[in-house]
Structures are given as structure tokens and as C-alpha cells.
Amino acid sequence: MSHSLRPRLSMLMLLAAISGGAAAAGDPATLNLYSARHYQTDEALYSEFTRQTGIRINRIEGKEDELLERIRNEGRNSPADVLITVDAARLSTADEMGLFQPIASKKLEAKIPAHLRTDDWIAFSTRARVIVYAKDSVQASDVANYADLAQPKLKGKVCSRSGSHPYNLSLMASIIAHEGEAKAESWARGVVANFARPPRGGDTDQIKAVAAGECGVAVANTYYLARLMRSDKAEDRAIMEKIGVVWPDQKGAGTHINISGAGILKYAPHRESAERFLEYLASDSAQRYFADGNNEWPAVTGARIDNPALAALGPFKADTLPVKSLAMYRAKAQMIFDRVGYR
């Protein structure tokens, strides 16, 4: 039976395994993983860890807020060893709730760049937020920077997903960190003034809207583009033929990135297995998997990438703003978006 079961069934199985043996608290061959990464391809990542180490993974999948609340309510009795999820702000929220314990691994310090880790949680993959434009109506030079999205020349041409989504909040948080609140709010007002329609849908919907001529520009995470590029469907390939992709701010701070990451939970019953799992996520094989299996950029500098779609997107300068800053300014980002009507 697949480990990627529905949350309730997975929980029943995990609780049964834990209550079934004196086992669970001390068995070094077990890892209880709470995951908010909803990618079917992660099954291969976890299976490889078990193959390499002999450590069996019991996994619960759920939405971030539900998992955080569950861990808090379980308290000292929580069976969870590791939380893995996407978005720096979500990991920071878990940290602020006191759910993590410090990570003391020299291997991780050596492999993961300083701006992609904190004392209590670490990034293992990144996704860049790029500008997508319609080749037949917008010039790449018109959207070289995030700031250009607020320029009057793009009035009626910008499509976006909700301003309350973590991807957009993290981008806004990075702008606040670099430019200050006043300039960030001015930018947000300009973007709202340029909307082609009210925000709706996900990143793939924005890409499709640009290709369909519903709008001229949008922002999207790179792994959505890579999925379309690698698709066998003719309609997906047709979408990619109609759009161009810009790495924003290459002459400035660099393109904004967000992350997938993980931390060891405060009352983890399998502390040693948890640390081995985090170190595995920074291994060469796991880093290649993030890139080749799920179209994410490796967090480890110099990790090999065999993904043809990522190669086609080309090299870029990434913003090295510390990931904890994305969490620090998230609340201000939401307040600014609310004030300017970016909903």
C-alpha cells in the first residue's frame, strides 16, 4: 500500500504503529513524517531514503495549518519527528509556535548556503518567481524587473493569483525587505491599478491566461513552467510557444526565490533518524530528485541538474535575501495588500 494515503487513513495507520510497539519512541529504524508537500513524485524520494538507511517512513499528509495545529495539540505526546512543507513563512510560523528544536548538523551547515537555513529549519529546494509575458503584445524589456509590473504602460495587462497566497506574500515580503514599506506599498498600488481582471486561480491559470491573450503579463513559479515544458500534451506545448519568460531584477538583487524545507520537531521520538533524514535531503541523490522529479532548483550549490526544462530556462541570479526575512515581513505584506485591494 502506498505511503501517500489520505490524511485520516494515514493517521490511523501511524497511531496503530505507534501504539503497537514500545517501539515507536525508541526504534531507530522508524521516522514519523508530517508532510504538507502534496507531490506524488515525493514517494520515490522517501523510498530511496528507506533503501539507503533501512529507516521506515510513516507519513501523514495534510494542509499546513491543520498539521501545525495537530502538532501543537499533541504536545509532548506527538509521534511526529519531522515537518516538511513549502514556503519560508509557513516554516517560520511553526518555529514561532515553538514546534521545532535546534538543528546541530555540521553536514547541513557545510552543504546548505547560510541564507537558506535558520537555527531550527532548513531549505532543501527552491522555486524562482519569474515574469511571464505574451510574446505578441509585450516586450521582454518592458518587464525586466518586478518594479515594471506597476508601470502605467502595463495598465489592464497584469493577471495574478490572490494577494493572500503565500507565494505572493513572500514576494511582497522580499520587496519590503529590499525597498522599505513605503515603496513596497506604492508598487502594490501600481500592480492593482494594472490588473486585467480580479485575482483568481493558481500559477498555471495565470500562465494560461497570458497565452490566451486575457492579459499580457503575470508572475509564476518556475516549476509550473517546467511542468508545461515537459508535458506530452500538445495544448501545453502550444501555451509555451506563446509566452516568454523573464528572470526579474538581474541587475539588482536578483530573482525572488521561495523554498521547500523541513525541521525536526521539539518532541521527536526518533531524533537520530530525523537528523539522518534531513542530511539525506541535502545529499546528491535527493537534490537531483528535487530537480528532476519535481522541477525545483537544488538548494545545495553545485548540485547536478539533469532536468531539460530547468536547463532550457537557463542560469539566473537568485536573490540571496535570508529566508527568515520572508517570514519577518509577511504580516506587513498582507496588511499592505489589504490596504491597496490586492485580494
Q: Are 144 and 102 in contact (CB under 8 A)?
A: no
Q: Is 329 annotated as a binding residue?
A: no
Copy the grid coordinates of residue 142.
518592458
Q: Give the whole-angstrom CA distance, residue 35 versus residue 63.
A: 8
Q: Is 133 annotated as a binding residue?
A: no
Which DSSP letter does residue 156 get? Answer: T
Q: Are 52 and 101 in contact (CB under 8 A)?
A: no
Q: Give the whole-angstrom CA distance, residue 5 versus residue 80.
A: 17
Handedness of CA 18, 23, 24, 30 (dihedral sign): negative
Which residues have C-beta within 8 Å of that of residue 91, sequence separation ≥ 6? 83, 85, 121, 259, 261, 262, 263, 327
Q: Are 167 and 129 in contact (CB under 8 A)?
A: yes
Phi and psi torsions of 300, nearest 5°: -80, 125
Q: Give the whole-angstrom CA distance, residue 156 versus residue 138.
A: 12
Q: Is 38 annotated as a binding residue?
A: yes
Q: Give the whole-angstrom CA distance, residue 209 versus residue 216.
A: 8
Handedness of CA 267, 272, 275, 277 (dihedral sign): negative
Copy the grid coordinates of residue 217.
503579463
243-246 and 56-61 beta bridge pairing: unpaired
Residue length, the chain? 343
Q: Are 218 and 134 in contact (CB under 8 A)?
A: no
Encoded amino acid at 258, one letter: N
Question: Residue ranges for the binding site for Fe cation?
Answer: 38, 223-224
Which residues are annotated as part of the binding site?
38, 223-224
